[in-house]
A and B are shown apart, each in its own frame.
Chain A
Amino acid sequence: MSATQHPKPADAATLTGAEVVLRALKEQGVEVIFGYPGGAVLPIYDALFQQNAIRHILVRHEQAAVHAAEGYARSTGRVGCVLVTSGPGATNAVTGLVDALMDSIPVVCLTGQVPTHLIGNDAFQEADTTGITRPATKHNYLVKRSEDLARVVHEAFYVAKSGRPGPVVIDLPKDILINKAPYTEAPTEAHRSYRPVTEPDAGAIRRAVALLKGAKRPVIYAGGGVINAGPEASRLLRDFAKLTGFPVTNTLMGLGAFPADDPQFLGMLGMHGTYEANLVMHGCDVMLNLGARFDDRVTGKLSHFAPHSKKIHADIDPSSINKNVKVDVPIVGDAGAVLAALLACWQADETPQDKPAITEWWRQIDAWRAKDCLRYRQEGKIIKPQHAVKRLYEITRETGRETFITTEVGQHQMWAAQYFGFQQPNRWMTSGGLGTMGYGLPAATGVQIAHPDALVIDIAGEASILMNIQEMGTLAQYRLPVKIFILNNEYMGMVRQWQELLHGGRYSESYSAALPDFVKLAESFHAVGMRVTDASDLDRAIREMIAIDKPVIADIAVDPKENCFPMIPSGAAHNEMILGPGQEGGVAGVTDEGKVLV
């Protein structure tokens, strides 16, 4: 904290605390805030009422406020902002905060609190918000002195967006909001203790280039950190891939960092990644990890992970490096800065590449690709979920409209990742780390607020969508034409798939019984509903959905028995993938050791 910077006497306490908060938000460039009122934050709502600079979007549940802010943040590269009341308002927001923490999304969440003199007394709607959210945030603050208020708001934005981004909570006791407080501008000097490293070490870059130049079977494994680093980093990634000729794979969080239709793209890797991406990871001799965190969904069995490779890992957070996987060349820095340095160093270095080896590597990769692991058969009336996503992709692409996709969590999420191609960063929002069902609809709300003219589609499951279905009200109120594309398989499909493969087909509680009539549900929320049950009707329905300038729920009845492949069962290695029916793959049984894994 900056004790050195004394508050400038500027407007010595002519504003209320609530007004100071709004002024600081404005100075931080906040245009939209997602929130829900309550007693403890009424002073802020009162101040909001009396100004026009910041637009408030009233959600229907505080969890949704955070997801909406995440969608807003991920699709714009800006900090998402949330306002909730004390007690239940704050506790409802916790799932969203952890979601943003796991996926490194910059969010600032203002929570109301009981007045300072009541803290600790079990006052009405009191919760120990800073205690509860300490492990749910990158950092949090409880403001107990009016003179700290402006500084804390500015600092919160700095912390949320710098280094590895994440959620920050500011807990605001009601008396602090009502009392007069001095305003101070955002400090220009560096933070006292938090100064993340963004520029990579030159020696590490040279060691990386030396390894990469000598690579015979290289791979670039790029993750969410490249998205966090901004669109320029994705451009540099493309340049680097072109320069080196290396294959590129993306994590779930990294999709869009490299164009899906680029011939050097292998698709997603990991548990539901492509055959070629996983075998390339398994067989590589040099791996360049850019802003990915060796998640267990990606590495599979650690002792068998890329066993013959030298690993380079560039990450802005030193704690991500050598956490799960020991690497040979650690590079701490921003993915964009690292890529720029790698490009410059590569070009300055005269060592030739082993071109024949790389050509041979691509021959091998093409053979793996020929397996066509995402092949499926759409025959007859019953819609294959893969086909539904593929047609959604192709048709939206034909329209040429700027398209953003969000998802819920489950099989549909994986099919979206596999069959929807992302050519640019920031077009894909999904809950990767926490895997929060109910993320997609509020996230889409946030995206649509940020991009009013774009096509925003939540690819959903019939179970997940019910977890934040109340946000249909938000869509209606703000006339947000979000499209909800439900792959309705009448099951918690991902759960059913694990039960089929791991638990002897005992489908315990995974059937989606007593579903609502989604058409009527849409209509009751002033939206348009449609149901599609016949494959021959799919294209027409998608076109119609896209053309409607209102929120739409498209309830697509898909094959309830379909499983998501390829799949690396928990605890198995990359070369032990299970492929879809009719394709031979590895024959990993699930070990007992694997069964305990999530």
Chain B
Amino acid sequence: MQRTATIAVLVENEAGILARVVGLFSGRGYNIDSLTVAPVDEERRLSRITVVTSGTEMVIEQIKAQLDRLVPVHKVSDLTREGPHLSRELALIKVVGAGDARIEALRLAEAFRARVVDATTESFVFEMTGNADKLDAFIALMRPLGLAEVCRTGAVAIVRGPRGLHA
């Protein structure tokens, strides 16, 4: 049985760390649905990677164990297994068109709480934050309305409640 897992990895912020993680996934044939990385603690030189992956339970356990044995990795946490968690992704979505389609796009954007961050007489750029499903749904709706370009950050995720992920 396949499942999706959102895995948070706290790593040393050092040269080559992303290559190690990505190389691990490609070298061992694991899926990457999305991957994000950014420094989260300047002082302690830590970065946080959020990787969304899928596989059988055994494969996901392997992925976690393989990540954990990388020397610069501090902590690996399977947020999907940790209990309720929040997952957010940001998208910039360009829609080009005129007339009714343009009005409909704007109306839907409001309903989805997408912000207009750029507009010309023939285009909008919407900025939207949400979980991946919400972004997927909005993008699908924009398709017939002149969807021209999409870029997405990939998910970042955090566990609900007071518990934190520490190195």
Contact = CB atoms under 8 A, between A and B. Distances in A.
Interface string A318-361: 11011100100000000000000000000000000000000000
A159 B23 CA distance: 20
Interface in A496-530: none
A192 B68 contact: no
B73 interface: yes
A192 B74 contact: yes
Interface residues of A, number: 23
Contacts of B72: 1, 193-194
Interface string B4-36: 000000011011100110010001000000000
A387 B123 CA distance: 84
Contacts, number: 52
B117 interface: no
B71 A317 contact: no
Contacts of A193: 11-12, 71-74, 167
Nearest to B11: A193
B153 interface: no
Contacts of A138: 71
A142 interface: yes
B140 interface: no
A192 B72 CA distance: 8
B85 to A, nearest CB: 23
Interface string A359-402: 00000000000000000000000000000000000000000000
B69 A318 contact: yes
B65 interface: yes
B66 A319 contact: yes
Q: Per DSSP, are chain A's interface residues mostly helix, strand or loop, or mixed?
A: loop
Given A134-B19, A134-B20, A193-B12, A322 B62 contact: yes
Interface residues of B, number: 24
Contacts of B19: 131, 134
Nearest to A4: B44
A158 B129 CA distance: 44
B71 A159 contact: yes
Interface string A162-179: 011000000000000000
B45 interface: yes
A56 interface: no
A190 interface: no
A28 interface: no
B12 A135 contact: no
Nearest to B45: A3
A130 B62 CA distance: 24
Interface string B36-49: 00000000110000
A192 B12 contact: yes
B23 A326 contact: no
Contacts of B15: 142, 144
Contacts of A164: 69
B71 A3 contact: no
A193 B14 CA distance: 13
A322 B71 contact: no
Contacts of A163: 69
B16 A319 contact: no
A139 interface: yes
Given A134-B20, A193-B167, A317 B73 contact: no
Contacts of B66: 319
Contact of B12 (A1, A130, A134, A144): A1
Contact of A318 (B11, B44, B65, B73): B65
Given A192-B74, A317-B69, A134 B45 contact: no
B104 interface: no
Contacts of B62: 319, 322-323
Nearest to A168: B71
A85 B71 CA distance: 25
Nearest to A332: B65
Contacts of A326: 58
B65 to A, nearest CB: 4
Contacts of B70: 139
Given A142-B15, A193-B74, A319-B62, 19 more contacts: A1-B12, A1-B72, A3-B45, A130-B16, A134-B16, A135-B23, A135-B27, A138-B71, A139-B70, A142-B16, A144-B15, A159-B71, A193-B12, A194-B71, A194-B72, A319-B69, A322-B58, A322-B62, A323-B65
Interface of A: 1, 3, 130-131, 134-135, 138-139, 142, 144, 159, 163-164, 192-194, 317-319, 321-323, 326
12 contacts: A130-B16, A131-B19, A163-B69, A192-B74, A193-B72, A317-B65, A318-B69, A319-B68, A321-B65, A322-B58, A322-B61, A323-B62
10 smallest beta-carbon distances between A and B, as pairs: A319-B65, A139-B71, A193-B74, A318-B65, A194-B71, A319-B66, A135-B27, A1-B12, A319-B69, A3-B45
